[in-house]
Structure 1
């Protein structure tokens, strides 16, 4: 009798085998598990193989006949390195399987948990030391999943600071594919996730197996071909040497692995991920409030804080329709550049003689909420905190304390460190009307040694999570933005503790088109910090028009990162109109589904909402190479019936307008009726679009 967890369109199937660990039979599109033949009946003996068959199990063991990636690598001072697991119990519940395996010789208990909600499976594992001496854990997979033999390619992301979410498309390897991260935090390559594509898979059709690890530290992802010609997918925390040593009775728990299988192409997997992240989001009991329009002071002022000038910025921002004012780095004592004062969370009396209260109250009186930048996990050597507690920074005997951005990393394993940080931030939150923290993390962990010289990567992440939770428990209405030099800490683990991600420190709108599409592979639009930056962009030097900059930022969590005083009257008007449009449309952008797609001649598009009430954004970055604009096919609209299409905006630069046509004049008015099947097959006619322009449409059931 098979054990199956069924989602609406997917199945996970295990076969119990008596005392042997249950074997994987299937993860993929929904099947009738009762019709499967048993492994005993369907697997002939293989030559040059153990006489006892070793199929892929729920937790494949090391050293006893399974030669693929093991779920566990552990030992006792070099002994008990090979596991022979037996099934102690298989517990089934509503959408849950929990398999308990024991190795009586090695005195180890391994528990694999699998739950299904919708079409997303969540896997995690734990290992307990049942012996009377130390058990060293080198690796424990959060989950091991089977993949079909006809997988065709791997879609993943790489990147760096200011250039996150660079897509990578690779054919299936001859043997294996591995992504290791040893930075101590998620990294600028994006979330620890991967999409494994079936044959002929695209945005809208075909099979995709996708997974991401809910963890903000070191990680390992692997896809490996097994001896049967199939593939296995594994994820887990990448443990440093000696980092996980279990004393008798102690237990190690992995992070969670979120896994989705889609038969509707990449978009099906993307939508499943969005649903899973939304379920984890830490909104208060009333749910997600409308995502407030931000202004952030950083690129307008950097460290040059002037209270009167910042109040004037608040005045100008409120006049534009901004709803939240965020004061960035440079507000605390001695912070005139990035070389000093990090860790001393006291207001600089030279810049703010009466503290931050007057500025915060001025902001609130304008009808905006007040937010503040902090970087609690770091410390400058040139700070009162470092001088008082030099041992509080991560360090390893005999290894230099390597600085990055002139800062060291505080050891969050230490209760005293977490207490200090909680008290410092809590004091600010109690004394000021702070509704929002932009929480930064501006370096990798190197070296990451704790008080006794042992590796502290895992404990650092756990300590950060604990600090987030303690602050949110004390201030339930507080919203927190996760930032790490931009997109260096975007993952499903920290998504359970924070409310927004800063996608990248690069606000160049052309760069952001690619980055934001990469972000949407894993996270929903309402968590995507997307700001209108200055022109030329500070990170690239490129210039883009205000209409294009605002239109690219529109679908995410909109913000402004410039001083409106530097804008022309026309630019201020365009930005004000964009903010008003965002407020009208944000409920649609930030709920329902997201579809990504590509059109001919370099066009890219994304669609937000639900059938019957959709917003379509079509972006052109480069100039067209065609005489007439090609139509854009929209496969998700097949079967949608009659739709009224309205052209809400064509975000492009003033002057020298592109040729128009009567159809688009009608679209700007009451709209034009199209059949969904026509739009899916023949496509939506497009207006002439210059380079760096965005067309925004509403599609509603007629």
Structure 2
């Protein structure tokens, strides 16, 4: 087969492969070198033949295996009862589909592997925003090797190369109420592997694996990133070998983390790996965020209506469901401008605490003798939408469901392990359990014309076996099917993905839901950090950000109302605190915040997210800039004290240096407390009215910002002068 070069190009990014026998090889992924250089890439695609190495140049193919001289983690791992462990895919077919305008496109390669008795495929799709989606699949075909045993798939990994200048790694860890905590490390030799075994991505999910040039930041540096769009168990990998990867230095990749024996293919059966999204940017992690946000916003299913201001009842009433109390709460919510109320945990059968009732999705007649209708009518009478909390994938042993169907509980036949948060996991891949959930939830949605479901998932999946077979993948596929069916039955229904807060935040779940709950932590000091990194992947309109009580439910930290309000004004805003205990003065301030949210949400929910690379980690400057550059809203915030007495000149990213702007300090939510005698002169003037400044100063040289006291924040509203 004569070699050919296939290329996909979009948004300054290019993916280029050479198609040859037996397996195509990757020539380039990253900045678009421009058309016309394909022959040069092909000419320079072969590295040196090293001492003590294979006698032919190593190749990084689209399906890396040991046959290519690749000694790193292979794209495919598995066996047929101990045999067929050295895959030898041979190219059988290839196709390329590029739109008429030449932007983006799709490349597919199909292979035949007689050693493994598999037909396999890898598909690359580059969207117009420069995001490259990679999907892989294998199908068992005993016609290729009659008599072979069933094939156990141990994993498929989508791997792409990165160059030698990618010398640092960024990924994430965390725990409940401290999700998406960044961690950085040198990209050294060996394997950087992050795998989850929680039945979901988890609060410590790697989330996004980024390789970049030295000291890359929010707005600078060249970066290569990977995200697995999957809500089950995950595997992220960055690998550098002394001999490199073909002409590249290292690889970056991801795939589903499969448990031993979870996928065993008989003749004709297929395994399709979840998609991996690869993103290149020469503008740091904000550049990655911009590409991903534009991709998500272009989806037909992306929310188009203004994201309503939400009140969720959990931190206001907990399990104390009383119609009179909830009515007073709803009336106060309406008075401050709330547009949607979500009735949280405690409404269903015998649910007076966390140890009973999960699985019994019937309204508790002892607490709600007339059903939910009286409260729903109160909510509707004030023009608000109604939402309801569920945790469908979990079950308490103290429930009618568990007593009637103990076999529906996911776990080994030898006996259940310990509960977590007083609950176990329902085997939703079991048809009868699936049908029960679908009909109960659908009936409640239909009966009460529910607008919104808060869908929770509070515990990890331990010993997740059904019929003694590993079942995490089956659970995840069943969850997707359940969400898809509910959306098909109720097209107007919106669903929030909550998993003990931020334990299931990924682009697989967001293909089927309309929002994620970033964390159960409403402490604004913690929340700002969590949401700042959540927004690298998820656009603000899909991230719930709520006002909590002055003393945080999860940390007991006390903060000013103004700080909590400003911190909750960067995403899809809401309220958790009990407004019936709030003073009239604070209610007036919350009403002003509600009005400000409605004013700025068209900007927040369509604009480009930016973060300043500041020298002092005790401070943060972040904002949203309109796509046309006409307006921006920034937050200047201090977490704690630091050695520096003042900030010096801080640059506002995302603004046009050739434009002029009107800059206003917005203080209707309260003035931030200062740790200084007087503001910089321009700030003092901007608190009284708009100040005109050039983009060259704001974005280029920077401006001095006030030294705030810890746990204080300032809103800076910027409009371009026509």
> Normalized against structure 1, the TM-score is what?
0.95
Query: Is the alpha carbon distance of 1:275 and 1:228 closer, same or farther for their aligned partners in structure 2, counting shifts above 3 Å?
Result: farther
| Residue from 649, 654, 669 that aligns with 1:636 | 654
SS in 2 for 1:599: coil
Distance 2:43 2:149 in 1: 37
Distance 1:211 1:64 in 2: 23
The answer to whether the aligner puts 1:96 opposite 2:117 as a matched pair is no
Would the aligned equivalents of 1:71 and 1:139 in 2 still touch at CA under 8 Å?
no
Would the aligned equivalents of 2:187 and 2:240 in 1 still touch at CA under 8 Å?
no
The answer to whether the aligner puts 1:48 opposite 2:52 as a matched pair is yes
Distance 2:44 2:586 in 1: 71
1:535 shift after superposition: 1.8
1:628 shift after superposition: 4.7
Distance 2:234 2:613 in 1: 31
Deviations 1:617-670 (A, max 9, x none): 111122465555533212433534222222223855688996346533542455
Structure 2 matches for 1:168-317, cutoff 5 A? 168-190=183-205, 192-229=207-244, 230-280=249-299, 282-283=301-302, 287-317=303-333
The answer to whether the aligner puts 1:122 opposite 2:125 as a matched pair is no
Distance 2:139 2:575 in 1: 50
Root mean square deviation, CA, Å = 2.0
SS in 2 for 1:637: coil
Further displaced range: 571-580 or 196-205: 196-205
SS in 2 for 1:106: coil
| Residue from 681, 688, 704 that aligns with 1:685 | 704
Would the aligned equivalents of 1:64 and 1:82 in 2 still touch at CA under 8 Å?
no
1:38 shift after superposition: 2.9
SS in 1 for 2:479: helix
Distance 1:622 1:480 in 2: 36
2:10 corresponds to which residue?
Answer: 7
2:101 corresponds to which residue?
Answer: none
SS in 1 for 2:23: strand
Further displaced range: 675-684 or 158-167: 675-684
Would the aligned equivalents of 1:649 and 1:697 in 2 still touch at CA under 8 Å?
no
Distance 2:159 2:646 in 1: 50
1:377 corresponds to which residue?
Answer: 393
The answer to whether the aligner puts 1:108 opposite 2:110 as a matched pair is no
Would the aligned equivalents of 1:298 and 1:329 in 2 still touch at CA under 8 Å?
yes
Deviations 1:505-554 (A, max 9, x none): 11001111111111111111111111110121111111001110010011
Would the aligned equivalents of 2:610 and 2:653 in 1 still touch at CA under 8 Å?
no
What are structure 1's unaligned runs of at least 5 residues? none
1:697 corresponds to which residue?
Answer: 716
Structure 2 matches for 1:299-698, cutoff 5 A? 299-450=315-466, 452-601=467-616, 602-610=618-626, 611-623=629-641, 625-628=643-646, 630-649=648-667, 659-660=678-679, 663-698=682-717
Deviations 1:37-64 (A, max 9, x none): 4368743333333335441100112567
Would the aligned equivalents of 1:129 and 1:251 in 2 still touch at CA under 8 Å?
yes
Would the aligned equivalents of 1:280 and 1:495 in 2 still touch at CA under 8 Å?
no
Query: Is the alpha carbon distance of 1:506 and 1:700 closer, same or farther for their aligned partners in structure 2, counting shifts above 3 Å?
Result: same
SS in 2 for 1:359: helix
Would the aligned equivalents of 2:49 and 2:56 in 1 still touch at CA under 8 Å?
no
Would the aligned equivalents of 1:321 and 1:580 in 2 still touch at CA under 8 Å?
yes
The answer to whether the aligner puts 1:87 opposite 2:91 as a matched pair is yes
| Residue from 166, 171, 179 that aligns with 1:156 | 171
SS in 1 for 2:160: strand
1:684 shift after superposition: 2.8
Distance 2:675 2:166 in 1: 47
Query: Is the alpha carbon distance of 1:64 and 1:553 closer, same or farther for their aligned partners in structure 2, counting shifts above 3 Å?
Result: same
Deviations 1:565-602 (A, max 9, x none): 22223222221111110011011001021111243443
Distance 2:64 2:187 in 1: 22
1:142 shift after superposition: 4.7
Further displaced range: 201-210 or 274-283: 274-283
1:270 shift after superposition: 1.5
| Residue from 58, 73, 84 that aligns with 1:69 | 73
Distance 2:535 2:205 in 1: 11
Distance 2:460 2:300 in 1: 25
Query: Is the alpha carbon distance of 1:191 and 1:525 closer, same or farther for their aligned partners in structure 2, counting shifts above 3 Å?
Result: farther
Would the aligned equivalents of 2:612 and 2:653 in 1 still touch at CA under 8 Å?
no
Distance 1:635 1:328 in 2: 39
Would the aligned equivalents of 2:521 and 2:527 in 1 still touch at CA under 8 Å?
yes
Query: Is the alpha carbon distance of 1:313 and 1:205 closer, same or farther for their aligned partners in structure 2, counting shifts above 3 Å?
Result: same
2:31 corresponds to which residue?
Answer: 29
Distance 1:393 1:280 in 2: 36
> Normalized against structure 2, the TM-score is what?
0.93
2:102 corresponds to which residue?
Answer: none
Distance 1:40 1:512 in 2: 48
Q: How many residues align?
A: 697
Would the aligned equivalents of 1:465 and 1:497 in 2 still touch at CA under 8 Å?
yes
Deviations 1:420-449 (A, max 9, x none): 001001110111131011000011111111
